[in-house]
Amino acid sequence: MRPLPLSPAPEIPLKDPIDIEWKLNHKLAKQLYEKERERIAKANRDQAKAAKEQEVSAMCKKEQEKIKKMEEALKSMQEE
């Protein structure tokens, strides 16, 4: 037995065309959001880079102090 043909679906009215002003505002808001996101990401990268440089600087300073102490100890041993 053949199935009966389906009745046509009720027509759904299409939405009104998007208002041009709304579309432009949406585009501008998206651009502002992206710029703010990029600014925050750059600030975070800069902050991480500064922290890393500070850490490396502190490590170098400690190593230089160790070297200086070793040199002083070596001098004192050579004087004796």
Residue 36 has a pLDDT of 96
Task: Write out pLDDT tens, residues 62-75.
Answer: 999 999 999 999 98
pTM for this model (two decimals): 0.55
| Distance separating alpha carbons of residues 21 and 31, to the nearest angstrom | 15
pLDDT above 90 (res 61): yes
Non-local (6+) Cβ contacts of 30 within 8 A are none
DSSP symbol at 79: H
Residue 7 has a pLDDT of 60
Task: Write out pLDDT tens, residues 2-42.
Answer: 565 566 666 766 666 667 888 889 999 999 999 999 999 99
Residue 20 has a pLDDT of 82
